[in-house]
Structure formats: structure tokens, C-alpha cells
Structure 1
Amino acid sequence: MRNVTAAGRNVDEAVQSGLQELGLITKDKVEITVIEEGNKGFLGIFGKKPAIVKLVEKIDPIQQAKLYLQTIAEAIAGKSDVTVQESKKTVRYHITGEKAALLIGKRGQTLNALETLTQLALNRYPGQYKNVTVDAENYRLKRKETLSQLAIKLADQVLKTKKSIQLEPMPSSERKIIHDTLSGYANHQIKTYSMGEGENRHLVISHKR
């Protein structure tokens, strides 16, 4: 957390001096403590004192989580860049680099672990909660297409055999993809629901009798 003590002819000037030293533009990025309001002195000469302020840069949880993710990514896959897209409820981090594929893991397991860690890092600050998505090599989009195709294939099998199919355990985001894909499929003859707890939670595709 960066901080600086700055002086000026008045408080505003001292604040601007501190912002310039920190490389910031607006006051909303810092916490300001006025140490000395300053004094023009008698006739602007005698007893003159400068205004002194202390500026402490505010923590940006989203940027802190980005730095945390980038540190882990570079420990695994070498030089990596992380870009951020923020919406009202979700923050999306996308990792690029020559060896970014190493961050995906078998069926996205490594990527899912990075996502969990980044979400914990982001939401550890009071009053801060957002959903986090971590992606690399556009894996999430490719995985979504694969799961959607798999869902339809299995649903057709269920329609034919009238027997339920249990899928392998997967994170809630992937279960939702399958659920959304089959919502209303085949004139609502198919239903999906989750079973199990924790890491064993999985989706079941069944026929509506």
C-alpha cells in the first residue's frame, strides 16, 4: 500500500502534489489525512506555514486479485498477462501467454482451482462480493460448446431409452451450461437436477414420465 506525505501552500495544493508523486489523477483513489492546514502568516510573510497532508492509496480489490492471479500464473506457466473485464456482479480475468495452456489442466481442473483462489482473494475485503471467472486460451467458450453438444447427445439417448444418465462431477458453472441447454428441450420431456455434495456434486439427465 503506497503512501506519501506532501506539502503545499494550502491543502488542495498539497493534495495535488501528493497525487502527482503517486502517479494518480483523482482524489477518490486515496485516503487523505490533513496533518497541517497551513497558515498564510502575517502579511503573507511572518509565521507562514505550509499545509501538510498524508495520502494513502486505496486498495483496489479487483487489481489486487489480478496481481495475485498473475503471480500464480507466472509460477506455473512463465510470463503471463492478465486482462480484466468487470460488470456489475462479475469480474472476468483472462490469461494469455506462450504457455497459458498449462493453466487449464485436465478438463479445466487447474483453471477451476485458479478461479476459486482468485474469488477468495477478491472477496476477502469487507463489503466486496463479486463472482469471478478465470479463463485461458478461450477454454471456457470451447468448453461451453463441448458441454452443450454433449448435453443434447445425452438427452437424445435419454429420450430413446427412457433411462436417466448421471454425469461426472463438475463445477456449478458447467452444470448450469447443461441445464440451460436442455431447458425446454424436446418439448420439455427432459429434466435435469443435481445430486451429491461438494466435489462429488453432479448432474442427472432424466426423462419426464
Structure 2
Amino acid sequence: MKKVTAAGRNVEEAVQSGLQELQLTKDQVEITVVQEEYKGFLGIFGKKNAIVELKEKKNSVQEAKAYLEEIINTIAGPSEIVTEENKKTVCFHIKGEKAALLIGKRGQTLNALETLTQLVLNRGSGQYRQAVVDAENYRLKRREILDQLANRLAKQVSKTKKDVHLEPMPSGERKIIHDALAKHPNIKTFSTGEGRYRHLVISHKDSRKPKSG
């Protein structure tokens, strides 16, 4: 977090000097007036400049990025993280020669990094946002695999009318399958189980089993 002390003939001039040095805008900093300007006796004797302290405001995205960068540099060496954000989601795209090491079996390492990054992103923040951590375009590839799996299992359940329980997976991946089958005429999906055992069930709409969310 950047901080600077700046002086000027008045407070506003001191603030502008500090902003220029930090290369930030006024809404990105916290301003503390250390000393008001004093024009001195008869405008000559004892004259003092205004002094202000400018401190960069806490940026949760930058904090999460720095935290993630520290971890991945240990695992995969120097890597670049490109952030892409909107009101609800912040995506951290990891690029590097050994970025594939960060994926793990079925994305388990990537999912763990995502969980930790999300905790940092929302720590002390008044606005909750979802963190998405990606490497080697894994998320898109995984979505395609899950879409194919959903359609294949939907055909199976339509034919047999027997429920299919998938292995436990993160909420984001369960949602992909939920969405893929949301408009299917014969299929319903729901999640069951607690914590790391929570998993998706694909069921025929004729089944009387209650939907648990």
C-alpha cells in the first residue's frame, strides 16, 4: 500500500502534489491533514506550507492478487496474473511456463487456490464478490467436459429413470451441470450432502424424491 507526505502553499495544492507522486486519483486515497497552511504575520513572518499525508485506500482485488501471486510463485515459479472484474466476480488468470502445475487432478489445486483467494478478496469488504482462479484456460475446458457429462448422464437417466449421483465437486461446477440441464424436459437436478461431500444428483422428473436445493 503506497503512502506519501506532500507539502504545498495550501491543502489542495499539497494534495495534488501527493496525487501526482502516487499516480492515483483523489477517490483512491485517504487524506490526512498534518498541518494547515499559515500565511504568517503580515503574510511574511512565520509563513508555513500545508502538509498532508496521502495513503492508498485498501484495494481488496490487489490484496487478493498479491496473496495469490505469493503462493503460485512458490509452486510454479514467476508467473503473471491478469485480473478481470465486474460487480459480482473477479477472475484471476494465471500465465506462466509452469502454470499447468497449479491445476492438479480435476482442478483440485486450482479450486483450493480459488477458495483461499476468495477469503482474502472478501476479507473486511462490504461487498461480496466471487473469485475465479484460472490457469491454462482450464475453466473453459472443464465447462465443456461438464456440459458433455451432463448431457450424457441425462440421456442415461431418461432411459433408466434411475438417479445418478455424481462425485463431490465445488458449487461452481455443480451450477454448470444444473444450468446445462435446467430446461431438459425429463430431468431435474439437485445437490445433497454437506461440506466436501456435497454432490449433485441427476434425477428423472417422474421420481418423487424431494429436491434439496
User: Deviation at 1:83?
Assistant: 0.7
- Residue 32 of structure 2 aligns to a residue in which SS? strand
Task: Give the superposed CA RMSD.
Answer: 1.3
2:94 paired residue number: 95
Please state if 1:192 is matched with 2:169: no
- Residue 28 of structure 1 aligns to a residue in which SS? helix
User: Deviation at 1:43?
Assistant: 4.5
Q: Structure 2 matches for 1:42-191, cutoff 5 A? A: 42-185=41-184, 188-191=185-188
Amino acid at match of 1:127: G
Kept after mapping to 2: 8 A contact 1:122/1:128: no
Kept after mapping to 2: 8 A contact 1:100/1:136: yes
- Residue 15 of structure 1 aligns to a residue in which SS? helix
Gaps of 5+ in 2: 207-213
TM-score (norm. length: structure 1): 0.94
- Give me the whole-angstrom Cα distance separating, in 1, the residues matched to 2:204 and 2:74: 46
User: Deviation at 1:130?
Assistant: 0.7
- Give me the whole-angstrom Cα distance separating, in 1, the residues matched to 2:23 and 2:83: 20
Kept after mapping to 1: 8 A contact 2:60/2:125: no
Cα deviation code 1:173-194 (max 9, x no counterpart) = 1111111111122xx2111111
User: Deviation at 1:32?
Assistant: 0.8
- Give me the whole-angstrom Cα distance separating, in 2, the residues matched to 1:177 and 1:94: 20
Q: Percent identity?
A: 69
2:30 paired residue number: 31
- Residue 90 of structure 2 aligns to a residue in which SS? strand
Amino acid at match of 1:107: R
- Residue 7 of structure 1 aligns to a residue in which SS? strand
Aligned counterpart for 1:203 among listed residues 200, 205, 213:
200
- Give me the whole-angstrom Cα distance separating, in 2, the residues matched to 1:139 and 1:63: 23
- Give me the whole-angstrom Cα distance separating, in 2, the residues matched to 1:127 and 1:179: 29
- Residue 37 of structure 2 aligns to a residue in which SS? coil
TM-score (norm. length: structure 2): 0.92
Gaps of 5+ in 1: none
